[in-house]
């Protein structure tokens, strides 16, 4: 338990140092704690350290934790960051606050239709496949504008930005190049969409959060450095 809280402190330090090194305020980068495969109890411990945002990849697993923690930790903000099949949109729309992984209109339409009207609109990012990794999900860069314009029309969704998971790169320079490509795309879109709320660039994980922050990430998604090594699933 103590080690989870010291992990949190260490990750906050990494974020703060990276932000300082490129002249950005540490508050410009929001930390998303990726709790996939770890129990609700670990989430609660990290939350006691003041962490608010949590990310889950698997909808069913995420919803179980959301429901478990709802009454004791009602201020937590839950982000779905994994691939979404059509048969899981309802569960996601009813339970999460954010979805980062929208890569086609059909999924966005279902999420909007299924978002309960009593809740605030679902906050969404489009997942973009910047480096063309063939095995990965994400919309192609030349299709992202059309998708963004369509998603903006959906009443129960609020389009917030882009999310990306680049291929792992070993050097800081290579990581930076990839993240800068996404930042450029983000800036182009922002100038084309005229959307005040388009303010989120979700990129950077345990291995590359410094490069992502240098490139302009506003949200980094960190699992391993906070919760520890995951068992293979
Ligand atoms: C698992 C995961 C993360 C966290 O990765 P770490 O390397 O453990 O920090 C971030 N984003 C997505 C989409 C993930 O699936």
Domain extent, residue 94, equals: 2-226
Residue pLDDT, tens place only, 11-47: 999 999 999 999 999 999 999 999 999 999 999 999 9
> Residue 231 falls within a domain, yes or no?
no
Residue 221 alpha carbon to ligand 1 centre in Å: 6
Q: What's the whole-number mean pLDDT along residues 194-199?
A: 96
> Residue 40 falls within a domain, yes or no?
yes
Domain count, the chain: 1
> Residue 120 falls within a domain, yes or no?
yes
Banded model confidence at residue 233, pLDDT cuts 50, 70, 90: low
> Residue 80 falls within a domain, yes or no?
yes
Ligand 1 atom at minimum distance from 230 CA: 8
> Residue 150 falls within a domain, yes or no?
yes
> Residue 232 falls within a domain, yes or no?
no
Task: For residue 7, give the CATH number of its domain.
Answer: 3.20.20.10
Residue 67, pLDDT score: 97
> Residue 171 falls within a domain, yes or no?
yes
Residue 134, pLDDT score: 63
Q: Are 101 and 163 a contacting pair, CB within 8 Å?
A: yes
The H or E element that residue 59 is part of is helix 59-69
Long-range contact pairs involving 64-72 (C-beta distance under 8 Å, separation at least 24): 64/40, 65/35, 65/39, 65/40, 66/95, 66/96, 67/95, 68/40, 69/40, 69/43, 69/44, 72/44
Contact residues of ligand 1, CB 6 A cut-off: 34, 36, 57, 81, 165, 205-207, 221-224
Banded model confidence at residue 84, pLDDT cuts 50, 70, 90: very high
> Residue 233 falls within a domain, yes or no?
no
From 205, 206, 209, give the residue whose CB has the most ligand 1 atoms within 8 Å, as the site to mutate.
205
């Amino acid at each position: 338990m103590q080690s989870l809280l010291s992990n949190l402190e260490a990750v906050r330090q990494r974020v703060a140092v990276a932000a300082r090194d490129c002249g950005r305020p540490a508050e410009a980068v929001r930390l998303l704690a990726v709790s996939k495969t770890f129990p609700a109890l670990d989430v609660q411990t990290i939350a006691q350290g003041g962490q608010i945002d949590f990310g889950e990849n698997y909808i069913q697993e995420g919803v179980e934790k959301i429901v478990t923690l709802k009454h004791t930790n009602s201020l937590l903000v839950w982000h779905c960051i994994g691939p979404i099949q059509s048969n899981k949109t309802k569960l996601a729309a009813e339970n999460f606050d954010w979805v980062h992984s929208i890569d086609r209109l059909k999924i966005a339409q279902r999420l909007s239709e299924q978002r309960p009207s009593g809740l605030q609109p679902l906050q969404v990012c489009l997942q973009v496949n910047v480096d063309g990794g063939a095995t990965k999900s994400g919309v192609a860069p030349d299709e992202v504008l059309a998708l963004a314009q369509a998603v903006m029309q959906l009443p129960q969704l609020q389009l917030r930005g882009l999310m990306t998971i680049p291929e792992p790169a070993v050097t800081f320079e290579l990581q930076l190049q990839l993240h800068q490509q996404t930042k450029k795309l983000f800036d182009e879109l922002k100038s084309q969409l005229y959307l005040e709320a388009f303010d989120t660039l979700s990129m950077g994980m345990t291995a590359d959060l410094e490069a992502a922050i240098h490139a302009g990430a506003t949200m980094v998604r960190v699992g391993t450095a906070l919760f520890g090594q995951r068992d293979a699933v």
